[in-house]
Chain A
Amino acid sequence: MSPISQPTSVAFNPYAENGGTILAIAGLDFAVVAGDTRQSEGYSIQTRYAPKVFRLTDKATLAVNGFAADGNIFVKTVKQRLEWYRHAHAKDMPLRAIARLIQTMLYAKRFFPYYVYNILGGIEEDGSGAVYSFDPVGSYEREACRAAGAASSLIQPFLDNQIYFKNQVAVSGTSHPKHLPILDVLSLVTDSFTSATERHIEVGDGLEIYVIVASGRSLTELSSIAGIEEVTGSASATDRVFVIRRELKKD
């Protein structure tokens, strides 16, 4: 050390990591998109309720995770683009088009990226449940399930095992189901988050599960769920959106 210390400056870091985890699973004619509600920086919890899952249309919900400021701005911009689309075409943008829109928007900022992992869940034009997952610069693919964020490494292998039946062999003469019933999917989601809360400090406080149901599907199973709330936007919508809120441990 020299006796005269020079003034030093650290370059401004425009990013932060705000913890939390998101998860989405596609069914035959429904999709489930979930996220915890804790927002943190380092070891400090900033708030116990900052939603990470957003309804975009009556057939699409978007979960964002990573740098919260980027995430919120990104969701706002996507919503704005969807509104412009509505004004131009007098209908909601289809899910696969939203997916491509998100990839273009993310790649547009390739050299100053939105530090956000996106998972888009909803109903395709053919009525099938779909999940699209993205990396921060726009690489994307359609999948049956995906976990992202702080506890993704805890949850994703569990989903491989329970959704894709990886490392499981079906009884001879039978095969694994291609799509799981909605109540099974919801149990897997809650189990994933309670486990992640137990073992990851950035996950906890609250859980928000969005369920997007294709038109014509029976809603009897859903009506049995305590505290479920419908958040469908327009009265004429054929696909419907519900949200289930649950508490998670706060420590």
Chain B
Amino acid sequence: MDHFPGTHWGKPRNDNIDAYGTYPLHAHQPRTDAFADGVQRTQQPVVTGASVLALKYKDGIMMAADNLASYGSLARFKDIQRASGDMADFQQLKHILDTLLIEQFVQDDGHKFGPTEIYEYLSRLMYGRRSKMDPLWNSLLVGGFKDGKSFLGYVDLLGTTYSAPTLRNWVWRYIAQPLLRKSVEGREDTLTEEEAVKILEGCMKVLFYRDARSLNKYQIAAVTEKGIWISDSRSVETEWAFAEGIRGYGAQTQ
């Protein structure tokens, strides 16, 4: 169907002999610069970061992440983020958040972002970028504690959001989520800090045993009324003696 019959006086269009034609329109979009062909949007994550587990307990929220690709967090205000996916996208995300928090700081108007505000901002940012078909290739867990209330939320590269008593991202869902749900669901208000640590340790141990891409070196972080606490890197005791007699495990003796 020719939508622009008036532009060529009834003569069939030929782009080879009519360089100034503007039809079809999409074929004549102006190039922004000489490198326009080289510009790529994130199509798949390049350097991937660690996965994260999170749960709610009596005093707030607790997260665990292994140190395989990265660690460190935005230790600002009473909330922390851990992200998995493309590291470059994650660093840009951190930069955007930093800028936002600095802007808020210089305003000095008495308003402070809590976890819910950060979460809302991040989910809008992620959804906005997916709508431009230029997503930030991450899944984020936002946990925090403000005004006596704990908060745990998830947002991914599509802008999909949800909250639940236990969260995790990427492949860990298949291993760790059932363990977390079993020990946490329905007990969010009674779990003590010691119990929460124990649950996460249990999960990290199973993950180390069963997930080839995990590392027996991880950190635990908690957000409570008192603020943020991040542990030093730690390991779990593992037991490999059983592997001796199993072909395919441990050293090959047969």
Q: Is the interface of B mostly helix, strand, loop or mixed?
A: loop
A48 to B181 alpha-carbon distance, docked (Å): 11
Please give the number of chain A residues whose Cβ is less than 8 angstroms from any Cβ of chain B in the complex. Answer: 22
Chain B 210-222, CB within 8 Å of chain A: the 1/0 string? 0000000000000
Instruction: List B contacts of A73 (CB < 8 A).
Output: 127, 159
Q: Is the CB–CB distance between B160 and A69 below 8 Å?
A: yes
A112 to B127 alpha-carbon distance, docked (Å): 14
Q: Is the CB–CB distance between A68 and B160 below 8 Å?
A: yes
A112 to B131 alpha-carbon distance, docked (Å): 9
Chain B 152-164, CB within 8 Å of chain A: the 1/0 string? 0010001111111
Q: Is the CB–CB distance between B160 and A18 below 8 Å?
A: yes
Q: Is the CB–CB distance between B44 and A69 below 8 Å?
A: no
Q: Is the CB–CB distance between B161 and A48 below 8 Å?
A: no
Do A72 and B161 contact each other (CB < 8 Å), given the known contacts A12-B133, A14-B131, A112-B131?
yes
A41 to B157 alpha-carbon distance, docked (Å): 14
Instruction: List A contacts of B130 (CB < 8 A).
Output: 12, 14, 69
The smallest beta-carbon distance between B157 and chain A, in angstroms, is 8
Q: Which of the residues B159, B162, B173, B174 comes within 8 Å of A47, measured between beta carbons?
A: B162
Q: Which of the residues B154, B158, B164, B173 comes within 8 Å of A14, measured between beta carbons?
A: B158
Q: Tell yes or no: B135 within 8 A of A by CB.
A: yes
Q: Tell yes or no: B43 within 8 A of A by CB.
A: yes
A245 to B183 alpha-carbon distance, docked (Å): 25
- Chain A 66-113 residues near chain B, CB threshold 8 A: 67-69, 72-73, 112
Q: Is the CB–CB distance between B173 and A16 below 8 Å?
A: no
Instruction: List B contacts of A10 (CB < 8 A).
Output: 43-44
Q: Is the CB–CB distance between A46 and B154 below 8 Å?
A: yes
- Chain A 37-79 residues near chain B, CB threshold 8 A: 39, 41, 44, 46-50, 67-69, 72-73
Q: Is the CB–CB distance between B127 and A49 below 8 Å?
A: no
A47 to B44 alpha-carbon distance, docked (Å): 26
Q: Is the CB–CB distance between B133 and A14 below 8 Å?
A: yes
Q: Is the CB–CB distance between A12 and B135 below 8 Å?
A: yes
Interface size class of B (residues with CB under 8 A): 20 to 34
The smallest beta-carbon distance between B188 and chain A, in angstroms, is 12
Q: Tell yes or no: A9 within 8 A of B by CB.
A: yes
A44 to B174 alpha-carbon distance, docked (Å): 8
Chain B 65-94, CB within 8 Å of chain A: the 1/0 string? 000000000000000000000000000000
Instruction: List A contacts of B158 (CB < 8 A).
Output: 14-16, 67, 69
Do A47 and B127 contact each other (CB < 8 Å), given the known contacts A9-B44, A15-B158?
no
A15 to B130 alpha-carbon distance, docked (Å): 9
The smallest beta-carbon distance between A183 and chain B, in angstroms, is 31
- The chain A residue sitting closest to B157, CB to CB, is A12
A46 to B43 alpha-carbon distance, docked (Å): 24
- The chain B residue sitting closest to A11, CB to CB, is B43
Q: Is the CB–CB distance between A48 and B127 below 8 Å?
A: no
Q: Which of the residues B43, B133, B135, B161 comes within 8 Å of A9, measured between beta carbons?
A: B43
- Chain B 97-146 residues near chain A, CB threshold 8 A: 127, 130-131, 133, 135
Q: Please list 19 pairs of residues, one from A and one from B, whose beta carbons are closer than 8 Å in the complex, sorted by A's number.
A: A10-B43, A11-B43, A12-B41, A12-B42, A12-B43, A12-B130, A12-B135, A14-B131, A14-B135, A18-B160, A39-B162, A46-B154, A46-B160, A46-B164, A47-B162, A68-B160, A69-B127, A69-B161, A73-B159
- Residues in chain B within 8 A of chain A (CB atoms): 41-44, 127, 130-131, 133, 135, 154, 158-164, 173-174, 177
Given contacts A16-B158, A69-B130, 6 further A-B contacts (CB under 8 A): A12-B41, A12-B135, A46-B162, A47-B162, A48-B164, A49-B164
In the A-B complex, list the 7 residue pairs whose CB atoms are closest, starting with the nearest: A69-B159, A47-B164, A47-B162, A9-B43, A69-B160, A46-B162, A50-B162
